[in-house]
Amino acid sequence: MERNIARLRARLDRLGVSLRPHLKTAKSVDVARRVMTSPAGPATVSTLREAAQFAAAGVRDIIYAVGIAPSKLPHVLELRAQGADLAVVLDTVEQAQAVAQASRQAGTRIPALIEIDCDGHRSGVLPTNAQRLVEIGRALEAGAELRGVLTHAGGSYTARGSEALRQCAEAERRSVVEAATTLREAGLACPVVSVGSTPTAHNATDLTGVTEVRAGVFVFFDLVMAGIGVCQFEDIAVSVLATVVGHQRDKGWILVDAGWMALSQDRGTRKQPVDQGYGLVCDAAGTPYADLIVADANQEHGIITVRPGSDGVLPDLAIGDRVRILPNHACATTAQHRSYHVVRGSSDKVEAEWSRFGGWQ
C-alpha cells in the first residue's frame, strides 16, 4: 500500500497536479491518513457517512462526488457548520436551484461542482452543452458557489492497454477543460478542474488545464486493475486469508471458508482476457499459485480449482492450511469486512488492526 501511494504521488507531482484521493475504497481513517497529502485533505467521498466520519477525523477539504439530492442538503450544511469545507456535485438546473436556495436559507454558500460526462458512462452534462452548463452555473451563483467542474472516466475500466488508457485520460481532460472554458467565457469562476479514475491517473501524459486528480482503488489495487495492466499481482495490497475446510477430490475441488460473503460477488475479471473467478489463490505468504482460482463461491464456501483449461496441478493442501485470495475488486471485497489486519510484506505478523466503517447516513 505504501508503495502504491508513493507511485501515484510521484506521477502526479511530475504532471503538476494535486491528488484528491477517493476514500471510498478503504473507508478507513488509518488508510486515509496515509493516502492524503495532509491530515486536512483534500479528499473525495461517495457517501455523507464517509464525509461525516472523515470530517470527524479532521479532514477539511472534501468533495461528495455523487449527485446531490435536496433531502441531503441539511446534512451537508451541518457538516459545513462543523468546519468541513464539503462540496457537492450536480448536473441539473433543478439541483443547482435547490443548492442555491438551501444556501440562502442557511446564510452560507454551499460549493458545488458541475459533473461532466466525458464518455457516456453514467451521469453528467455533455461538455458540448454550453447552454446547460451556463444555466447551471448561473443558478448556482444565485446563492451558492460554483466551485468547478468534475468528471470520472468510468469507461476506462473496460479499456485495455496503455494507448487506449492514454486516450481515455485525454478525453477525460479535454471534457472538463472545455466545460471550464465555456463557464469562464460566460463570466463564471471555475477554479477547480477535477478528473479521476485509477486507470487514467496512471496513464495520463498531459494534464494541462486540470487542477486535481481523484483516484481510489490505486491504494490497494486488485485483479481487475492487473488485468487492465495498471498494476502487477505483487502490487495488490489486500487479500482475504482463508482456511481449507474440505475436499472433493473426484471433482478437483478444495473447499475454503471464504465464500462470497468474504470475497464479494464481484466478477470484474469475467470479461477480461484472463478470468480470475472469485479471486486468485496465493500461499499464506502471498505468492500466487499461477493457475489456482476460486472458481465458484457459495455464501461461506469458496471452491478452489485449477483454472479451467489449464494443465496445472492442484496443490496438496490439507484441512486447516491457509491461503490468501487476491480480490477482483478491492472496493467490493473490503466492503465485506469490518477491519483490516495490517501486515508488512510477506510477514504474517499483524502489526495493527484498522477499522473500516460502512453505511450511508
Angle at 125 between CA 191 and CA 44, to 5 degrees: 50
Smallest gap from Cβ 263 to its own copies, in A, equals 11
- Cβ closest to its own copies, residue 189 vs residue 245: 245
- Cβ closest to its own copies, residue 164 vs residue 245: 245
* Side-chain-facing half-sphere of 49: CA atoms under 13 Å: 9
Cell 487492465 sits on residue = 228
CA dist., res. 201 & res. 211, Å (int): 13
- Cβ closest to its own copies, residue 17 vs residue 256: 256
Smallest gap from Cβ 70 to its own copies, in A, equals 5
- Cβ closest to its own copies, residue 211 vs residue 334: 334
CA dist., res. 183 & res. 185, Å (int): 5
- Cβ closest to its own copies, residue 228 vs residue 244: 244
Q: Give the E-state strand segments of the chain in sequence order.
A: 18-19, 43-45, 61-64, 85-90, 111-116, 145-151, 192-195, 212-213, 240-248, 253-256, 280-282, 288-297, 302-306, 322-326, 339-342, 352-355
Which residues bind to its own copies, rule: CB under 8 A?
A: 24, 46-47, 66-72, 91-92, 94-95, 98, 122-123, 154, 243-248, 255, 257, 260-262, 264-267, 298-301, 303, 318-320, 331-332, 335-338, 358-360
- Cβ closest to its own copies, residue 72 vs residue 173: 72
Q: Give Cα separations from 30 to 33, 35, 47, 154, 194 (angstroms).
A: 5, 9, 18, 27, 25
Q: For residue 355, is it left (φ>0), alpha (ψ between -120 and 50) or beta?
A: beta
CA dist., res. 107 & res. 261, Å (int): 46
- Cβ closest to its own copies, residue 272 vs residue 336: 336
Amino acid at 82: Q
Smallest gap from Cβ 283 to its own copies, in A, equals 17
Smallest gap from Cβ 65 to its own copies, in A, equals 9
Smallest gap from Cβ 124 to its own copies, in A, equals 9
Smallest gap from Cβ 237 to its own copies, in A, equals 19
Smallest gap from Cβ 306 to its own copies, in A, equals 18
Angle at 41 between CA 54 and CA 12, to 5 degrees: 135
